């Protein structure tokens, strides 16, 4: 038996060819000249040679599929079954491409089948041909389709119309539901249908423990079927006698609602399930024009667009959340009765589908999420770069190929660091600057812009920390002034200096090294925490103004790090701290992923506790304040003796890991 396929190298086609070869048939596959390599690889997969799977050079959008006269003559009268699978199966494709492929491509396939004198024509349509019909759509219904405004729905309907009205070869039409991966392997070739929501599920999994219930939508019923069911059903039906002129719904007759589908895949992906699902019909009492007006408000449109873009969900997909159509499949059930070919239940194979997506189709797999890919050839400024977090960060940026600009107060040390970084093959430019001096900050900005033209990444790391209780600070107002000058005014001066060029280029990222103390309201650090809090507040306000201009901010609420800045407080030698390299890794993550904030879970918990139960948070911090004394230097003593640390202090510090005391 001889077969001809368009779309034979596509997702459904590659499985169908395998079934047809198992019948001992010879399969002719339409391919473009430049796609023959793809067919060669598929032959290896099928275990077939060129006598079993023959390439027919052509093009779907050309007359008679672009098949030359000699080949067409050789095929004439020899094709038993012509399968037309080639189409655009993409909700996000542009209308012109869908028109050319789905409609004109089908017309070319119909004409080619007639020119070959094919005995049967099998058209793979879609449930999309029903449009957004409200109610039950039967297999003998076609003209009743409604709401075909979306190009995908309209072109699938029109392509089926071409077959019904123009095809002179006996035809059969198949309308599969939303086709997803194979039930055994999970194999799928692209993100489509329910896959669009997998990234959202994955992000929720990363943000929340699996046991935390979430709130989501209920939605309509989406008809999802695995590719192996579709192919098995199509192969069986195509070879039956007496079924020409009929349409078959290859669907799940008991489909799941959107909310149920999301929960099934959430469980498969070990993500939190939606404990509460909101049915949009609850808002049916609101007049449609009011709902539409709210959706069209600029802030709502911006927010919706940003969220969908972050999740990788095309806006058009959201119009199918409340999918209104159910599909009757009595003809399909009749011809498949007793064959064992049936739609498996989604929970039984969802883990396989999820696993394949996460290993092969997750969009993040195809993004360069390395520091090198982010900063190579970009101008990155690091302040306070001669020790601690700043030095470790500069080393990572240097190794990643950044055009590195480093600044610090001590010229000799700055030269040493620059020489060490250059010895690693880095492009390093060192400029001395006291970032607590506003004139020096202005000069630094001018020098950098004159020499490099722009700044792509600014890491505000230079800072001053003072650990002293308020009881010992009544006569030390200058402590508050000097921390504010360096930690706040200096950083803001740099941001305001580099921002105009960032805004002009519509590209820039500011990383502020803040403190976990801002989240915990750490005692003894009132001067330090206040200055960092001011910078946090400034950055939030600036981000709100520049959000639509691609100039972004990340605040890192850094836990306790073992740097020269904490060296005077000897008690920190006995409590858990991060290494500078670990802290620099947090900075690298900030540069690559650009989150709004990076903080430890304990820091976030402290912030939430302070918001929900401020007195309780205050008592916890006061307990730590009383447990850990001021340093001898803060108390006015010159003793260099290391204070003794009790087991209670060690235990408390371990529980409150990373918090300043």
Specify the residue for token string 């050789």.
74
CA distance 119 to 183: 32
Question: Residue 478, class by beta-carbon neighbours within 10 Å (0-12 exposed, 13-18 middle, 19+ buried)?
Answer: exposed
Q: What is the pLDDT of residue 300?
A: 52
What contacts 504, CB < 8 A, 6 or more positions away?
none
CA atoms within 13 A on the CB side of 188: 27
Higher-pLDDT residue of 618, 326: 326
Domain that residue 465 falls in: 371-656
Q: What gap in Å lies between CA 158 and CA 98, rounded to an integer? A: 11
Provide the token pair at 260.
Answer: 């149920």
CA distances from 25 to 1, 344, 432 (A): 5, 28, 78
Rounded to 5°, angle at Cα 630 from 627 and 633: 155
Residue 299 lies in a domain: no
Q: Where are the beta strands (DSSP E) in 439-539?
A: 457-460, 508-515
Q: Residues 229-263: pLDDT tens digits?
A: 999 999 999 999 999 999 999 999 999 999 999 99
Query: For residue 286, is it within any domain?
Result: no
Distance CA 530, CA 482 (A): 12
pLDDT tier at 275, thresholds 50, 70, 90: confident
Per-residue pLDDT reduced to its tens digit, 456-498: 999 999 988 787 787 787 888 888 899 999 999 999 999 999 9
**Model pLDDT, residue 15:** 96
Whether residue 634 has pLDDT greater than 80: no
Residue 305 falls inside a structural domain = no
Residues forming beta bridges with residue 55, ordered by sequence position: 29
Q: Can you give the pLDDT at residue 460?
A: 96
The full DSSP string for 587-599 is HHHHHHH--SEEE
Res. 654 pLDDT band, cuts 50 70 90: low
Report yes or no: 600 and 658 within 8 Å, Cβ to Cβ: yes
Residue 77 CB neighbour total at 10 angstroms: 11
Do the domain assignments include residue 250? no
- Averaged pLDDT score across all residues of the chain: 87
Tokens of 255: 């489909």
Cα distance between residue 497 and residue 314, in whole Å: 38
Residue 348 lies in a domain: no
Compute the distance between CA of residue 264 and CA of residue 376 in angstroms, rounded to an integer. 41
Identify the domain boundary among 150, 176, 202.
176
For the entire predicted model, the pTM comes to 0.74
620 pLDDT higher than 80? no
Pick from 147, 176, 205: which residue ends a domain? 176
Please give the positions annotated as active site.
528
Give the rounded percent of residues in the chain with a pLDDT score beyond 90.
Answer: 62
Which is nearest to 59 in space by CA: 8, 108, 114, 122? 108
Contact between residue 67 and residue 56 where contact means Cβ atoms under 8 Å apart? yes
- Tokens representing 147 are 């709401």
Give the CA distances from residue 455 to residues 197, 313, 358, 491, in Å, rounded to whole numbers and listed in that order: 36, 32, 35, 14
CATH, residue 109:
3.40.50.720
pLDDT band at residue 635 using 50, 70 and 90 as cut-offs: low
Our count of domains for the chain comes to 2
pLDDT of 565-592, one tens digit each? 555 554 555 455 678 899 999 999 999 9
395 has a pLDDT exceeding 90: yes
Give DSSP secondary structure letters for 22-52.
Answer: HTT-EEEEEE-GGGHHHHHHHHHHHT--TTT
At 623 the pLDDT is 74
Beta bridge partners of 31: 57
The CA distance from 158 to 146, in Å, is 12
Q: Give the phi and the psi of residue 223 in degrees, each rounded to 5.
A: -90, 100
Last residue of a domain, one of 176, 197, 212: 176
Q: Is the pLDDT of residue 659 over 60?
A: no
Query: Does 272 map to a domain?
Result: no
Q: Is residue 297 part of a domain?
A: no
Closest CA to 200 of 257, 299, 274, 150: 274
| Cα–Cα distances in angstroms (integers) from residue 152 to residues 159, 316, 498, in the given order | 11, 10, 46
Question: What pLDDT, in 10s, does the model give residues 130-163?
Answer: 999 999 999 999 999 999 988 889 999 999 999 9
Euclidean distance between CA atoms 589 and 555, whole angstroms: 12
Helix, strand, coil shares of the chain, percent, nearest 5, are 50, 15, 35
Which pLDDT value is given to residue 479? 85
Query: 65: exposed, middle or buried (C-beta count within 10 Å: 0-12, 13-18, 19+)?
Result: buried
| pLDDT in the model for residue 75 | 95
Question: Is residue 459 one of the residues assigned to a domain?
Answer: yes
Q: Give the pLDDT score at 210.
A: 87
State the pLDDT at residue 605.
Answer: 72
| SS3 (DSSP) at 468 | coil
pLDDT at 525: 75
């Amino acid at each position: 038996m001889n077969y001809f396929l368009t779309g034979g190298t596509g997702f459904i086609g590659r499985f169908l060819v395998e079934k047809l070869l198992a019948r001992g048939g010879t399969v002719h596959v339409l391919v473009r000249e430049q796609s023959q390599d793809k067919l060669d690889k598929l032959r290896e997969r099928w275990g077939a040679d060129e006598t079993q799977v023959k390439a027919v050079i052509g093009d779907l959008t050309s007359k008679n599929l672009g098949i030359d006269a000699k080949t067409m003559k050789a095929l004439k009268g020899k094709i038993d079954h012509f399968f037309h699978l080639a189409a655009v199966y993409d909700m996000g494709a542009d209308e012109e491409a869908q028109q050319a492929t789905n409609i004109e491509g089908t017309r070319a396939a119909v004409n080619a089948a007639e020119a070959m004198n094919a005995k049967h024509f099998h058209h793979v349509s879609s449930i999309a041909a029903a449009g957004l019909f409200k109610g039950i759509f039967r297999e003998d219904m076609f003209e009743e389709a409604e709401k075909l405004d979306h190009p995908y729905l309209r072109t699938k309907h029109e392509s089926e119309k071409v077959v019904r009205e123009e095809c002179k070869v006996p035809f059969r039409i198949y309308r599969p539901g939303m086709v997803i991966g194979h039930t055994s392997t999970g194999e799928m070739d692209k993100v489509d249908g329910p896959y669009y929501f997998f990234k959202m599920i994955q992000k929720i999994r990363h943000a929340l423990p699996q046991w935390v219930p979430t709130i989501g939508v209920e939605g309509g019923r989406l008809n999802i079927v695995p590719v192996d069911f579709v192919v098995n059903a199509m192969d069986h039906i195509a070879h039956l006698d007496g079924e020409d002129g009929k349409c078959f719904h290859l669907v799940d007759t008991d489909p799941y609602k959107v909310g149920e589908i999301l929960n099934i895949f959430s469980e498969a992906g070990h993500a939190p399930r939606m404990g509460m699902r909101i049915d949009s019909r609850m808002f049916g009492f609101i007049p449609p024009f009011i709902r539409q007006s709210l959706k069209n408000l600029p802030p709502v449109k911006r927010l919706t667009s940003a969220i969908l873009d972050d999740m990788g969900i095309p806006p058009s997909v959201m119009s199918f959340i409340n999918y209104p159509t159910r599909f009757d499949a009595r003809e399909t059930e009749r011809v498949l009765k007793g064959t064992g070919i049936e739609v498996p239940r989604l929970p039984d194979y969802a883990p396989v589908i999820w696993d394949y997506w996460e290993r092969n189709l997750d969009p993040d797999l195809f993004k360069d999420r390395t520091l090198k890919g982010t900063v190579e050839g970009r101008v990155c400024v690091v302040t306070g770069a001669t020790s601690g977090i700043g030095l470790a960060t500069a080393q990572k940026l240097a190794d990643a190929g950044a055009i590195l600009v480093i600044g610090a107060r001590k010229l000799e040390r700055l030269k040493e660091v620059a020489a060490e970084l250059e010895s690693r093959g880095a492009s390093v430019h060192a400029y001395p600057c006291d970032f607590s001096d506003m004139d020096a900050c202005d000069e630094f900005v001018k020098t950098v812009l004159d020499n490099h033209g722009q700044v792509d990444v600014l890491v505000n790391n230079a800072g001053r920390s003072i650990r002293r209780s308020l009881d010992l600070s009544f006569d030390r107002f200058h402590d508050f002034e000097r921390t504010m000058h360096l930690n706040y005014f200096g950083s803001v001066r740099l941001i305001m200096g580099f921002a105009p060029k960032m805004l002009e280029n519509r590209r820039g990222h500011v990383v502020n090294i803040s403190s976990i103390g801002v989240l915990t309201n750490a005692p003894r650090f009132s001067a330090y925490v206040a200055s960092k809090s001011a910078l946090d507040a400034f950055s939030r306000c600036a981000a709100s103004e520049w959000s639509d201009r691609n100039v972004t901010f990340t605040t890192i609420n850094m836990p306790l790090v073992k740097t020269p800045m904490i060296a005077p407080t000897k008690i920190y030698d006995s409590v858990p701290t991060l290494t500078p390299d670990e802290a620099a890794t947090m900075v690298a993550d900030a540069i690559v992923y650009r989150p709004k904030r990076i903080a430890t879970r304990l820091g976030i918990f402290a912030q939430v506790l302070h918001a929900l139960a401020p007195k309780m948070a205050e008592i916890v911090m006061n307990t730590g304040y009383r447990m850990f004394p001021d340093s001898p230097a803060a108390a006015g003593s010159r003793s260099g003796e290391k204070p003794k640390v009790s087991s209670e202090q060690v235990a408390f510090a371990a529980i409150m890991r990373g918090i300043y005391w």
